[in-house]
């Protein structure tokens, strides 16, 4: 008898479960009343799109020879537009497309051998739907998500978020795209269908038998909350794992949508490339090999106001960038490479510690584009993209005293202001009021080991107000800072050693505990994550 775990509605659901689930061995009919609103109005939730998603073990042919064991998502639309969920690369990459204002129900089934939960990265969600590790479900259990899409159009994503095992589960394949559309964007007639291409970039370490190799002692086991020194002293995983856990795990094979040596065949026309860095810890400095600039049209939270030209774009773990790529002047036969360029060792420190043959900050190809077909499509890049309001820091209730969070390391474990993640703990300095605007400042200067971090705040989209860097780190920062895209809406930002960043954050109407953390997943899993509370 499966168990639907969703604290808000467990009682209500349980009553109808026996008959509905046992009778149909499937999902209860859509008409069944379920109360879901976070504001406890008890209006029945009438989903316009219903999806069944499973986390499951599978094997995929990625390299010639043995199939690779993965933990992937599988699923289907059970009501609504059947094309809303597609899978790329034989199932490795799910792409779920929703619309702003749409009511979505997702029935999630855990067929993995350990607890898991899905987080909808970048989406504005009630706390109970946000995929907090406390809501992780055991093997065989179900979780019903119900939400109305609040976000503007953009490239969001979803991934596993269990306690201490996020790094391992994403590494083995628990990640997908969540693409939101809306009317503002549709009116621009940007490239769509085959010309709107989600590209998920990841690095993997692969053993001789084509299997993904991760930390030998899983994060969250001996190496989780106990700290890295403890596990090293106990002989679990050894020194290499300890360093990988502390610095972040890097692979030496670059996969795009789960494929090595990825080639995108294109026609002579414009494309929208949605680039997602779903790597555990690697930062990319993306540039076209022929030196032409990248044309950025969107960031984490959707379209920017006007196209931005960048010589390169720095993409930290969990960040997204939408790029306009016009191949109409390239003759068929042309090959182009999107590569990752060199950047400074101080930023890249993780790679210097010897846990990979492809150090962070090295130059390598990410993907190839090959012009294979002629097309007469005329695609004109709109000069006005999204409406992005001006940043108004004076709206912040703490305008004169920003809330400061320092990344720290004590006893060889990461933390924020000296505190590590604890499932339920949240302090007064981590408590905000709903529907207020605040300035938050993250500082990357206090820890005894300085390296780059990718800071993410759940439940919000924010704006970047300003950055500053200590002079001794300015040249290292300059090796990546030309690729920051701080315009537009963000939910994840890179801060390099010695750097401070100020964010303007508007908290929405949903109350409860949400997470803020580093998205370098080994940092997150070993404690660089905290709850914050939105109270009424």
- Minimum separation from the CB atom of position 205 to ligand C2O (A): 21
The verdict on 520 binding Cu ion (CB under 5 A) reads yes
Q: How large is the C-alpha radius of gyration of the chain?
A: 22
Select the binding partner of residue 490 from Cu ion, ligand C2O, none (C-beta < 5 to 8 A, by kind). none
State the Cα–Cα distance between residues 166 and 280, nearest whole angstrom: 9
Distance CA(376)–CA(353), nearest Å, equals 50
Contacts of 168 (CB under 8 A, 6+ apart): 214, 215, 218, 219, 220, 525
- Using N-to-C axis directions, what is the helix angle for 345-352 and 474-481, rounded to 10°? 90
User: Can you give the binding site for ligand C2O, defined by CB under 6 A?
Assistant: 119, 121, 159, 161, 318, 456, 458, 515, 517, 519
Measured distance CA(248)–CA(259) in Å, rounded: 22
Helix, coil or strand: residue 348 = helix
CA distance linking residue 462 with residue 247, whole number of Å = 27
Partner touching 453 among Cu ion, ligand C2O, none, CB below 5 to 8 Å by kind: Cu ion
Torsion (CA) 98, 99, 100, 102 in degrees, nearest 10: -80
By beta-carbon proximity to Cu ion, the closer residue of 323 and 518 is: 518
Cβ at position 187, least distance to ligand C2O in Å: 30
Which one of the spans 13-21, 296-304, 330-338, 511-519 is the region binding Cu ion (CB under 5 A)? 511-519
The answer to the question of residue 320 lying near Cu ion (CB under 5 A) is no
Name the residue nearer to Cu ion (CB basis): 415 or 512: 415
238 phi-psi bin (left φ>0, alpha ψ -120 to 50, beta other): left
Q: How far is the CB of 314 from ligand C2O (least distance, A)?
A: 18
Least spacing, CB of residue 514 vs ligand C2O, in Å = 9
Residue 161 or 341 with smaller CB distance to ligand C2O = 161
- The least CB distance from residue 532 to ligand C2O, in Å, is 12
Least distance to ligand C2O from the beta carbon of 300, Å?
Answer: 10
Closer Cβ to Cu ion, 254 or 520, answer by number: 520
Count of other CB atoms within 10 angstroms of residue 271: 21
* H helix runs in 149-206, sequence order: 166-171, 183-186
CB of 27 or CB of 120, closer to ligand C2O: 120
Identify the residue among 402, 523, 530, 534 touching Cu ion (CB under 5 A): 523
Which residues from 130-169 bind Cu ion, rule CB under 5 A?
none
Which CB, 92 or 532, lies closer to ligand C2O?
A: 532
Interface residue list for Cu ion (CB under 5 A): 453, 518, 520, 523
């Amino acid at each position: 008898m499966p168990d639907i775990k969703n604290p808000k509605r467990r009682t209500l659901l349980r009553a109808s479960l026996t008959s509905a689930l046992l009778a149909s061995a499937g999902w209860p009919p859509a008409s069944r009343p379920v109360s879901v609103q976070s504001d406890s109005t008890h209006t029945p939730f009438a989903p316009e799109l219903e999806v069944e998603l499973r986390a499951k073990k599978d094997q995929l042919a990625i390299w010639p020879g043995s199939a690779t064991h993965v933990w992937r998502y599988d699923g289907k639309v059970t009501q609504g537009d059947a094309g809303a969920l597609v899978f790329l690369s034989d199932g490795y990459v799910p792409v779920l497309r929703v619309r702003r204002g749409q009511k979505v129900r997702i029935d999630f089934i855990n067929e993995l051998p350990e607890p898991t939960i899905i987080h909808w990265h970048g989406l504005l969600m009630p706390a109970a739907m946000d995929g907090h590790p406390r809501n992780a479900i055991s093997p065989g259990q179900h979780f019903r998500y119900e939400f109305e899409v609040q976000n503007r159009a953009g490239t969001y994503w979803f991934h596993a978020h269990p306690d201490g095992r996020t790094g391992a589960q994403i590494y083995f394949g628990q990640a997908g795209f969540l693409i939101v559309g809306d009317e503002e964007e549709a009116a621009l007639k940007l490239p769509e269908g085959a010309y709107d291409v989600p590209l998920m970039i990841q690095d993997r370490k692969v053993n001789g038998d084509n299997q993904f190799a991760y930390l030998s002692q899983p994060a969250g086991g001996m190496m989780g909350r106990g700290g890295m020194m403890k596990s090293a002293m106990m002989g679990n995983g050894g020194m290499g794992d300890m360093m990988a856990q502390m610095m972040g795990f890097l692979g030496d094979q670059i996969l795009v949508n789960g494929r090595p040596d990825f080639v995108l065949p294109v026609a002579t026309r414009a494309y929208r490339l949605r680039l997602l860095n779903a790597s555990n810890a690697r930062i990319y400095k993306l540039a076209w090999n022929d030196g032409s600039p990248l044309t950025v049209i969107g960031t984490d939270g959707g379209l920017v106001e006007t196209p931005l030209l960048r010589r390169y774009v720095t993409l930290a773990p969990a960040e997204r960038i939408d790029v306009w790529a016009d191949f109409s002047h390239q003759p068929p036969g042309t090959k182009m490479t999107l590569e990752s360029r060199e950047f400074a060792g101080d930023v890249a420190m993780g790679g210097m510690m010897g846990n990979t043959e492809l150090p962070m900050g090295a130059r390598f190809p990410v993907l190839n584009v090959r012009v294979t077909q002629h097309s007469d499509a005329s695609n004109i890049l709109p000069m006005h993209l999204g409406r992005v309001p001006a940043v108004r820091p004076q709206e912040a209730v703490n305008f004169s005293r920003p809330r400061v969070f320092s990344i720290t390391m004590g006893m060889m474990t990461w933390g924020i202001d000296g505190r590590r993640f604890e499932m339920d703990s949240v302090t007064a300095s981590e408590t905000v009021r709903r529907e207020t605007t605040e300035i938050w400042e993250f500082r990357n200067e206090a820890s005894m080991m300085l390296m780059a971090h990718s800071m993410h705040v759940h439940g919000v989209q924010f704006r970047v107000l300003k950055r500053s860097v200590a002079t001794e780190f300015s040249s290292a920062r300059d090796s990546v800072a030309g690729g920051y895209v701080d315009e537009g809406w963000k939910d994840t930002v890179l801060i390099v050693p010695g750097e401070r960043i100020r964010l303007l954050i508007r908290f929405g109407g949903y109350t409860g505990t949400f997470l803020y953390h580093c998205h370098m997943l080994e940092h997150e899993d070993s404690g660089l994550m905290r709850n914050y509370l939105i109270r009424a």
